[in-house]
Structure 1
Amino acid sequence: MLPTRRCPLSQRTTLADVAAAAGVSVSTASLAFSGAGPIAAATRERVLAAAAELDYSGPNPLGRQLRSGRSGIVGVVVGDALRRSFRDPVSVQMLDGLVGTLGEMNLGVLLIPGPTDPSEPPVDPLVLSAAMDVAVLLWASGSADPVLAALRRRGVPTVVVEGIPEPDVATVGIEDRQGIAQVAQHLVDLGHRRIACVALPFDRTRGEGVVDAERLAQVQWQITRRRLDGMYDAGVQPVAVYETPASLVEHGAAAGRALLSGADRPTAVLCQSDLLASGVVLAARELGLAVPGDVSVAGFDGLDLPWLAPDVLTTVAQPLAEKGAEVGRSVARLLEGTYPPPVVMPVELRVGTTTGPAPA
């Protein structure tokens, strides 16, 4: 008969072992590690020396979480498949700012993807069950968003990025409606009247192609809606709106081929992201069209795209990393038990080489 083997976890040195070696109570040893409460410096040094001798790194973090009632985790719902999100510099730069800020607060991040297919449930099981102190929604459709509704039922404090300000959530956004209006007015001032639009996804069905008025009335995602409204604010009634399933170069290229292949092509294409705009530029090159001589192209985000050289996109720049950091600061306020006021960050029109006067 084989001898019974002890689980490696049961062989670990415990806080009680350290307390015994240091000749103090377990509660005193705990204070030495937490840094909280009254404890003499000499006593703390004795406890830490005993811990080092016994190769003890500190109290079990799970036990500490259970005692504090917190997990130390922020759930970040990206709203799309992770493989697509990590191909988008907008998501990556904003997450970098967010994670860096949370790291300074000793908080971890749980990335939660969105559904990859409309037939999948709209709410990932992690949203329903994972331990998290605060949730961050990067793509919320509005008050009826099923993910936001699930978090509300759980009582999880939530930060919504570029969503609708509401009293029971924190919101961080940008002046994207005004920014799109600026770049649309820029095109109008250059003499363009036949302007097409390449839009971000309308909803979780992620359709693709030129849409009609009925489909335009069905836009659910607030980012897409605001950027369409900004175009209308500038008085632009687009000759065509092309819906894309994601903000990726290949979807912009597909839109460009569809919009620029006909004889009655637009003289300018206004895109709701820089990746979509860069795809339109590549499609124009494929079709033998000069940018901006034959067609002007503008985007949104302010990304550095050296591979698009010699073209430099006309774009509306947003503070991506700082936006992520601001989301992190909103998380901190929620952990303190207060709802911060909505934050709206400015954007800036940057004119590049891809826009010029409308062709005669």
Structure 2
Amino acid sequence: MSGVGLVIVGSLVVVVLAPSGVESIRLEYPVDAGQDNGDGCPSMGPAAPHVRPGPTARGTRPRTRPAASPIPPPEDHMPTGAPAAEQAQRCTLADVAARAGVSSSTASLAFSGSGPVSDATKERVLAAASELGYAGPDPRARSLRRGRSGIVGVVVEERVRSAFLDPVKLQMLDGLSDAIAPLGAGVLLLTETGRGANAVSIEDAPLDAVVLVGCSPRLGESLEVLRRRGIPAVAIEGDPGDDIVEIGIDNREATRAGAEYLRSLGHTDVALVTLPFDAARTRGPLTPDLEHVSTADTASERLRGARDVFPGIGGRVAGGSSIEEGLEAARALLRDPAGRPTAIIAQSDLLAAGVIRAAEELGIRVPEELSVIGFDGIRPDGLQADLTTLVQPSVAKGRAAGEAVVRMLAGERPASVRFTSELHVGDTTAPPRA
């Protein structure tokens, strides 16, 4: 399976797909000695960089993009070994310092925002930089000086495109990116299944720290790689072990509360649609064998919460958290009128939306003939009903993970954090039909 990475640094976004799709994207700059344009810096020339894509996958066509504006290569403090012609084309921090009438060290402090530099001096340096077209010190050189890559990895267990379709993961990423903003770091999105010579992987990506997002059956495998590499890690959900910071929620207690609510309405014939239990994402009936080999702590804990109230509860295991997976699982549960449950507990809101869609297909009225409970507290696309669900603080979880990363990179040992969920009673649950 291909590895997918997304780097976000300020307004720059670079997507790397490997080994299928675009293998590499390389920005090339024309080598032009340039002429002094009168402002103290050599001219960059009119030519714009072009993108050279790698081979495309079968059955796909390369995308065309509008012509790009000239993009200057990284600023001064260029790592040793950069082509001389490339270095000669640029304004340097020394040029800015000379224009502002300060030392290079003072100009550097003005850009970094640290150190005893007056506001007037900072304004003078920034004005000189603007006149010369100088954007700031090269972030690559800054990384070399600090001994860091300037990248925080975020591992999602599914394909990256699936993560962007899941509002829960997007909310966690919002909180995470806000919290790590003081680091000035970029974010690299990785799938845990990256493989192949060209794949972007936690095996070899240059990372300062890693946050593992989601309810992954592969959590243990990913953590072993990070332990071996000595990279600080934070796990959102799961049971990572005592040496890894965990940002979790009360999965068992929350699901128990939802199940107790169904029982209070009079339901006794209740079924589950669960998240995956194993790394293969096996779909089908919820069997003792599958429960026994489970490597997915979140799915297992939510199952235990339901069993605390309905000891014999069964159901179907989905291959992931999506409306389509919930639809497929619910079709199997609801196909036989004689064996239909009166209520279904779905382990995510996306799965619950799929359950409701399956009920609509089969002419089953929700909640009159079928009650549905989800987990997350989002509003899935296309769902008109107010879903009864367990609401979790997704943004706060992401923010807590980011704060833990900041503290770890400062040499501290942050504690794990456990949030609680709340039952939201919507209009998808009602007493069973007599």
5 Å-filtered alignment, 1:283-294, equals 283-294=358-369
5 Å-filtered alignment, 1:141-160, equals 145-160=220-235
Matching residue within 74, 85, 90 for 2:152: 74
User: Counterpart of 1:350?
Assistant: 424
Equivalent pair of 1:170/1:340 in contact (CA under 8 Å): yes
Report the more deviating stretch, 181-190 or 161-170.
Answer: 161-170
* Residue 150 of structure 1, CA deviation: 0.9
CA-to-partner distance for each residue in 1:227-261, whole Å, 9 max, x for gaps?
A: 111112224321x3211111111111111111011
* Whole-angstrom CA distance in 1 between matches of 2:239 and 2:268: 32
- Structure 2 residue identity aligned to 1:279: G
- Which residues of structure 2 form unaligned runs of 5+? 1-30, 34-84
5 Å-filtered alignment, 1:331-346, equals 331-346=405-420
Matching residue within 83, 93, 97 for 2:175: 97
* Whole-angstrom CA distance in 1 between matches of 2:121 and 2:181: 30
* Whole-angstrom CA distance in 2 between matches of 1:23 and 1:268: 75
* Residue 203 of structure 1, CA deviation: 2.1
Change (3 A) 1:11 1:47: same
Counterpart of 2:316 in 1: which secondary structure? Answer: strand
TM-score w.r.t. length of structure 2: 0.74
User: Counterpart of 1:62?
Assistant: 140
* Residue 211 of structure 1, CA deviation: 3.0
Matching residue within 222, 238, 248 for 2:322: 248
Counterpart of 1:129 in 2: which secondary structure? Answer: coil
5 Å-filtered alignment, 1:157-306, equals 157-164=232-239, 166-238=241-313, 240-262=314-336, 263-305=338-380
* Residue 44 of structure 1, CA deviation: 5.1
CA RMSD of aligned residues (A): 2.4
* Residue 162 of structure 1, CA deviation: 0.9
* Whole-angstrom CA distance in 2 between matches of 1:272 and 1:40: 56
Q: Which has the higher contact order (CA 8 A, sep 6+)?
A: 1
Change (3 A) 1:33 1:87: closer
Report the more deviating stretch, 212-221 or 20-29.
Answer: 20-29
The structure that is strand-richer by fraction is: 2
User: Counterpart of 1:88?
Assistant: 166
* Whole-angstrom CA distance in 2 between matches of 1:291 and 1:45: 63
* Whole-angstrom CA distance in 1 between matches of 2:432 and 2:247: 37
Equivalent pair of 2:220/2:240 in contact (CA under 8 Å): no
* Whole-angstrom CA distance in 2 between matches of 1:100 and 1:144: 24
- Which residues of structure 1 form unaligned runs of 5+? none
CA-to-partner distance for each residue in 1:255-299, whole Å, 9 max, x for gaps?
A: 111101111211111110111111111111211112222221111
Counterpart of 1:179 in 2: which secondary structure? Answer: helix
Report the more deviating stretch, 203-212 or 76-85.
Answer: 203-212
TM-score w.r.t. length of structure 1: 0.89
* Whole-angstrom CA distance in 1 between matches of 2:272 and 2:117: 66
User: Counterpart of 2:88?
Assistant: 10
1:113 aligns with 2:177: no
Equivalent pair of 1:165/1:342 in contact (CA under 8 Å): no
Change (3 A) 1:244 1:109: same
* Whole-angstrom CA distance in 2 between matches of 1:58 and 1:105: 17
Change (3 A) 1:40 1:234: same
* Whole-angstrom CA distance in 2 between matches of 1:230 and 1:14: 61
Change (3 A) 1:39 1:184: closer
Q: For this pair of structures, how many residues does the alignment match?
A: 350
* Residue 87 of structure 1, CA deviation: 1.2
Change (3 A) 1:301 1:140: closer
Equivalent pair of 1:142/1:164 in contact (CA under 8 Å): no
5 Å-filtered alignment, 1:302-321, equals 302-305=377-380, 307-309=382-384, 311-321=385-395
* Whole-angstrom CA distance in 2 between matches of 1:316 and 1:59: 47
CA-to-partner distance for each residue in 1:142-196, whole Å, 9 max, x for gaps?
A: 8971211111111111110012263422111111211100001111222222211
* Whole-angstrom CA distance in 1 between matches of 2:316 and 2:264: 23
* Whole-angstrom CA distance in 2 between matches of 1:79 and 1:144: 8
Change (3 A) 1:48 1:83: closer
Equivalent pair of 2:215/2:299 in contact (CA under 8 Å): no
Equivalent pair of 2:351/2:374 in contact (CA under 8 Å): yes
- Structure 2 residue identity aligned to 1:100: D
* Residue 30 of structure 1, CA deviation: 2.5
CA-to-partner distance for each residue in 1:73-92, whole Å, 9 max, x for gaps?
A: 21000111011111111111
* Residue 329 of structure 1, CA deviation: 1.4
